[in-house]
Amino acid sequence: MKAIWKDERFLWAVYALAAILVSVQKLTQGPNDAGYTSYENYVIFRNAFTHLLAGQNPYAAFPAEQWDLFKYSPAFALFMAPFSVLPDWLGLPLWNLLNALSLLSAILALPVLDARKRRFMAWFVLLELITSLQNSQSNGLTAALLLWAFVAFERGRSSRAALWAVAGAFLKIFGIFAAVWAPAYSGKSRFVLSGLAWGLVFLLSPLLVLSPSQTLQVYRWWVELLQQDHAVSLGLSVAGWLDSWFGWLPDKNAVTAAGLLLLALSALAVYRAPSLRRRTLLAASVLIWVVIFNHKAESPTFVIALSGVAMWYLAVERAARWQTVALWGTFAFVSLTPTDLCPRALREQIVQPYVLKAVPCIALWALLTAGLIRTLFNSRPRAEASIEAHE
């Protein structure tokens, strides 16, 4: 029985089964009192193409059809075309399978980890992935695109890394942060040129169904929505933590700028001596960064951050005791507090108001970043063993 957990075929079966069971659960729940489904995010994604094709503003409110606004790129709306013609009983399971199996395939392809560590990472993020699937979100696919870009860089395929980075950016804007890894690898010029080419392809893809003037208008609508959306919500983020813990509400742009500066400094440290371990740590840093510095981050988004936490832990040959404690403490706060294992009163009165789901990810990212930045001020790059001791 013990060997079955080491069988990748079993992992594929578990991920697929999780996606299907979650879909069945949501499909059988029926509408709520307002008449909306329990898988409204999928409905919003699916409707986006229908609205786009009809020449409507896909970013407008459609209360008779869906409970919230579509906020992704026009290219993503086009991507949902196949789902728009499928009945929900088929489309929702396929959507969740796409998210689940894409993430698993990316994890199992990571060349920086051995087979044992890849399997551990897959099991470690599974519960958080299920949270995302229960909300019919796109976070599994977003995490997969980021990881595929990293895998492509590690395999020396910078053009393919550009494809995944641009696709991630048109899915969720922060997917473009995969480009942070590029200077640590050869083929930087190919990455830039391929990225520009793929960016143009995705940018102009709505022309497949719209006129040039309609396409331009859709992008105007999208920009207007993003500008309005930025003004609301702090999310499970650094900004939300500062507000809930200290009552300090700095400008969100300033918080993001500070995070970008720290990320840039840690990236410079990696570019200075791009060893395998440092590249892995920078990958982990980006995966966590795009969540904790996203003022719209919600609970389902943390499958991306938890993937980064797993890579931080697995980057060492042999983890120290404090690292293991930190890993499982983070897992408890991130993956267990939203479940029924956490008493409802505790969840509603402490965990949610004090954004405790985000706090361990913020702390680990700060520790990881400080360890990398410190090496910038050494006369020579710190030996790998020394970094491991610190991290």
Q: Which parts of the chain have pLDDT scores under 50?
A: 1, 382-391
pLDDT tens column, 319-346: 899 999 999 999 999 999 888 778 888 8
Is 254 among the domain residues?
A: yes
Is 69 among the domain residues?
A: no
Angle at 332 between CA 249 and CA 178, to 5 degrees: 65
**C-alpha closest to that of 268 among 189, 381, 104, 168:** 381
The total of structural domains in the chain comes to 1
Is 374 among the domain residues?
A: yes
Determine the pLDDT at residue 385.
Answer: 37
Is 171 among the domain residues?
A: yes
Domain that holds residue 337: 112-390
Contact by Cβ (8 Å): 313, 288:
no
Determine the pLDDT at residue 295.
Answer: 82
Contact by Cβ (8 Å): 151, 106:
yes
DSSP secondary structure letter of residue 376:
G
Determine the pLDDT at residue 379.
Answer: 54
Is 136 among the domain residues?
A: yes
Is 78 among the domain residues?
A: no
Is 295 among the domain residues?
A: yes
Contact by Cβ (8 Å): 47, 79:
no
Determine the pLDDT at residue 300.
Answer: 92
Is 307 among the domain residues?
A: yes
What single-letter amino acid sits at 56? Q
